[in-house]
Structure 1
Amino acid sequence: MHYFMPLILGFTVASIGITPPGLLNMTAAKLSVRDGRSKALMFALGATFTVLFQTYLAVLFAKFIDRNPEIINLLQEIGLGIFVLLTLYFFTIANKPKKPKEELKMKSKTSRFFLGMLLSALNLFPIPYYVFISVWLSRNGYFFFNQSYISLFVLGAVIGSFLVFYLYILFFKKKEGEKPSFLITNINYIIGSITGLVSIVTLIKLINNNLG
């Protein structure tokens, strides 16, 4: 049971990070509607393959940071700023109507796999996201930087990422043309609330550290 914790944490962190509508999951959904589920799944596999390496590198970097306590407060301050900005983003900019973008046209399943890898690699947000989350979890006693924890955390992140892609593919395949659900309509407010809560917790922790 002890080793289920990093698996669950990785799954949860990845699911929260990738659930908001973005380039990767919306591309997977559009490919499912336009070209079929199997080709969209190849795209999702390619994107998830890149997530594996991004998460592993991020956690290794977080391990290095955790061994150097002098920079942890600085990173917490940076992380606080990032989550405050994300909160503002999800409550304002993300809820503005977006102009439709020109769709990417590709032929084979293999090309979609590499397209998924490429677009995921160009998305640099997961690396600082997993670095900050890993350090934060470690500081609060939920995560340990040993090989088994790291491997299970990365596995959980991979499973969580692919599951979210898969749900996007299934949902948009079945619901194309129908009115979006409450969750999809209000997803930015939900995620904004989560990042806002994390910001408050981080701010309280920084204040306590400075007073201590």
Structure 2
Amino acid sequence: MTAARIALDEGRVRAVMFALGATLTVIFQTVIALIFARFIDAHPEVVILLREIGLAIFILLTIYFFSRGTHKPKSAKEVKVRSKKGRFFFGMLLSAINFFPIPFYVIVSVSLSSFGYFDFENSEIGNFVTGAAVGSFMAFYCYISLFSKLESKTAVILKNMNYIIGSVTGLVSIFTIINILEYYFG
């Protein structure tokens, strides 16, 4: 959504620079996730502990986003960006503070491995990282391209974004609770 906002406010070139910076960070996050996933794949007893930690995090995020949704946003300050490099590094920074890609790619790679579609070999890891990078950049580029055409309709989505994210994290929390209860009682 930030890429779309930058495209609307500052132009497509700056938004693409933001997307490139965010994509570079996603590459590093994916490599870190696959290192964790390789360890988890070799030690399945760690999975339930990670689910419990993840549950606590998702519950806290749900509470946070729903409470943020009730607050009225402060008026935005006018920020002038002087270079395209600033948006590149801003993309890297914003992507770096987003911790969702690491557990996401851990879960995806371990799941694919359990179904026999992925092995933790260097060539497959390289393909996975490349796919994650290309997919991330394409998603950013779609935001950049499509939201400028749908600018009038995006206001409702942007206004309710905290509720949307809170709902998603709430659903993940519910599914995680069910999964943990099945593990202990089922």
Instruction: Quickly name the TM-score band, shorter chain normalised.
Output: 0.7 to 0.9
Structure 1 residue matching 2:154: 3-state secondary structure: coil
2:111 maps to 1:137: yes
Candidates 195, 199, 202, aligned match of 2:169: 195
1:65 aligns with 2:10: no
Unaligned runs of 5+ in 1: 1-24
Name which of 94, 103, 106 aligns with 2:81.
106
Q: Which runs of 4 or more aligned residues in structure 1 lie more than 6 Å from their structure 2 counterparts after TM superposition?
A: none
Q: Percent identity?
A: 48
Q: Find the aligned partners of 1:128 and 1:87 in 2 and give their Cα distance.
A: 19
Distance 2:106 2:55 in 1: 10
Give the distance between the partners of 2:125 and 2:102, measured in 1 at CA. Answer: 16
Deviation at 1:195, TM superposition (A): 2.7
Change (3 A) 1:53 1:61: same
Q: Paired residues, what number?
A: 185
- Asked whether the equivalents of residues 91 and 189 of structure 1 are also in contact (C-alpha less than 8 Å), the reply is yes
SS in 2 for 1:92: helix
Q: Does 1:210 align with 2:184?
A: yes
For 1:86, which of 61, 64, 84 is the aligned residue?
Answer: 61
1:74 and 2:49 aligned: yes
Q: Which residue does 1:16 correspond to in 2? A: none
Q: Post-superposition shift, 1:172?
A: 4.5
Is 128-137 or 39-48 further displaced after alignment?
A: 128-137
Structure 2, unaligned stretches of length 5 or more? none
Q: Which amino acid aligns with 1:81?
A: A
CA separation of 1:79 and 1:163: change in aligned 2, threshold 3 A: same
2:24 is the counterpart of 1:49: yes
* TM-score where L is the length of structure 1: 0.67
Q: 1:102 to 1:59 in 2, by over 3 A?
A: farther
Deviation at 1:78, TM superposition (A): 0.5
Residue of structure 1 in register with 2:154 after alignment? 180
Residues 89-118 of structure 1: CA deviation (Å, up to 9, x unaligned): 333324532213435433233343233224
Aligned match for 1:125, one of 87, 94, 99: 99
Q: For the structure 1 residues 89 and 171, does the alpha-carbon distance in structure 2 shift closer, same or farther, using more than 3 Å as the test?
A: farther
Given that 2:14 and 2:84 are in contact with CA atoms closer than 8 Å, whether structure 1 keeps it comes out as: yes
Distance 1:35 1:193, change over 3 A: closer
Which sits farther off after the overlay, 65-74 or 48-57?
65-74
CA deviation after TM superposition for structure 1 residue 125, in Å: 1.6
Deviation at 1:77, TM superposition (A): 0.3
